[in-house]
Amino acid sequence: MRALKLGALALPYLVAVVGANLIVKHYGASSTPYVAFFLVAAALIFRDQFADMVGYQRVLIQLALIATGALLTYLINQDAALIAKASVIAFTASEIIEGGLYIAWHKRPWMDRAPGSAAVAAAVDSVLFISIAFGFTFSIAFAQWVAKVAGAWLWARVIQEVRTRRAVLARNA
């Protein structure tokens, strides 16, 4: 059952990462804030869902998913190799930071630690990704970071609402 749940999280995570990479390759740096809000923020919050299921194994699972996302991006569009490389480096660095914070903040409510750890990780991810993929531009990196923070809060809120509704249904069953 746990493997099924992990797979159910891995699929949308990979769709978000690969989709983000391919969209950015097609539309360029100016698309990154939009992609960051809808897709990258989702991936940041999905990482926390993995952590809740697997604990400290989170980092190993995430590194495997990060590599898989980059490989899939490259296999779908070999012209996206630089985007895939930037994605691997940025996501790996941000995962180390986010994973550490998420675990360190384990006593905080989920709605504080998930978007909070994502906000810090998003800063690292944004600077690294833009720098590697396009050359650093403060305005784009900053817009991307703001979009990731806002999107992470939105995705965390959606997940929290689903968790609350499931708990209510389970109590009433």
User: 């604990």: which residue's tokens?
Assistant: 55
Render each residue's pLDDT in the chain as its tens digit; 173 residues: 677 877 888 899 899 999 999 999 999 999 999 999 999 999 888 888 878 888 777 788 889 999 999 999 999 999 999 999 999 999 999 989 998 899 899 999 989 999 999 999 999 999 999 999 999 999 999 999 999 999 999 999 999 999 899 889 988 87
Mind giving me the DSSP string for 94-129? Answer: HHHHHHHHHHHTTTS-HHHHHHHHHHHHHHHHHHHH
Helix axes 110-133, 81-104, angle to 10 degrees: 150
Q: Which 3 state secondary structure label does DSSP give 28?
A: coil
Residue 156 pLDDT:
93
Residue 154 pLDDT:
96
Mind giving me the DSSP string for 53-109? Answer: HHGGGHHHHHHHHHHHHHHHHHHH-GGGHHHHHHHHHHHHHHHHHHHHHHHHTTTS-
What dihedral angle (degrees, nearest 10) is formed by the CA atoms of 144, 159, 64, 121? 40
Give the Cα separation of 137 and 173 in Å (integer): 53
Residues spanned by the domain of 124: 2-172
Residue 124 pLDDT:
97
Q: How many domains does the chain have?
A: 1
Per the structure block, which two tokens stand in for 70? 């980059």
Residue 49 pLDDT:
82
